[in-house]
């Protein structure tokens, strides 16, 4: 019984570290479009000092897991994280909604999902073809807390 708990604990920590590293591997977004209260249209943020704070794995607290937000959330901001497409255009990677905490604590992030989810793998990404893969049936967006 003790061994099972130990193994479960080690597995949970390992999966959390892998999730954070995978998110960090996405890198810093080149541009983030922000819309919400007090912003006319969309605000395009390209300053690396700011986009690095709002990029995948920097804004969300993946280690905390999913949380239930307060019922009185309002005044949220939509963030559309983008990478330079190499043609002078930008490609949206994902979308999140940020809501400040009404009590003044850490805000809440709603992960709306990956945009244009299908893409072709790199040659090195195609190498491990023998490994089993499963589609993400039943995956849904999740709430998480922002890092403090």
Q: Is residue 53 part of a domain?
A: yes
Q: Structural domain tally of the chain?
A: 1
Tokens linked to 75: 């005044």
* Paired strand residues for 113: 95
Q: Is residue 124 part of a domain?
A: no
Q: Is residue 125 part of a domain?
A: no
DSSP type of residue 4? H
Q: Is residue 6 part of a domain?
A: yes
Which of 61, 64, 138, 65 lies closest to 98, judged by CA?
A: 61
Please provide the DSSP assignment of 12-47 as one string. Answer: HHHHHHHHHHHHHHT---SEEEEESTT-SS-EEE--
**pLDDT tens figures, 75-87:** 899 999 999 988 8
> Could you give the C-alpha distances from 102 to 71, 73, 75, 121, in angstroms and in order?
10, 7, 10, 42
* Paired strand residues for 45: 32
User: Distance (Å, rounded) from C-alpha 48 to C-alpha 54?
Assistant: 10
User: Distance (Å, rounded) from C-alpha 148 to C-alpha 143?
Assistant: 16
Q: Is residue 132 part of a domain?
A: no
Q: Is residue 133 part of a domain?
A: no
Residues with Cβ within 8 Å of 45's Cβ and at least 6 positions away in sequence, in order, are 31, 32, 33, 34, 51, 54
pLDDT given for residue 69 in this prediction? 82
**pLDDT tens figures, 11-62:** 343 333 333 334 444 589 999 999 999 999 999 999 999 999 998 888 888 8
Query: Which backbone phi and psi does 65 adopt, to 5 degrees?
Result: 75, -170
Q: Is residue 100 part of a domain?
A: yes
Query: Does the structure show a pLDDT above 60 at 105?
Result: yes
Q: What percent of the chain has pLDDT over 70?
A: 60
Q: Is residue 127 part of a domain?
A: no
Q: What percent of the chain has pLDDT over 90?
A: 30
Instruction: Print the domain residue range for 71.
Output: 2-118+138-145
């Amino acid at each position: 019984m003790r061994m099972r708990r130990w193994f479960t604990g080690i597995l949970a920590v390992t999966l959390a570290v892998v999730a954070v590293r995978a998110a960090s591997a996405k890198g810093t977004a080149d541009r983030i479009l922000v819309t919400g209260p007090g912003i006319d249209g969309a605000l395009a943020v390209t300053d690396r000092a700011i986009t690095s704070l709002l990029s995948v794995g920097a804004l969300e607290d993946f280690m905390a897991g999913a949380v239930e937000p307060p019922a009185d959330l309002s005044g949220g901001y939509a963030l559309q994280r983008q990478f330079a497409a190499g043609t002078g255009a930008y490609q949206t990677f994902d979308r999140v909604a940020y809501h400040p905490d009404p009590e003044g604590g850490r805000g809440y992030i709603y992960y709306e999902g990956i945009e244009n989810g299908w893409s072709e793998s790199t040659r090195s990404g195609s190498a491990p073809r023998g490994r089993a893969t499963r589609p993400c049936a039943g995956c849904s967006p999740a709430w998480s807390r922002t890092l403090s």
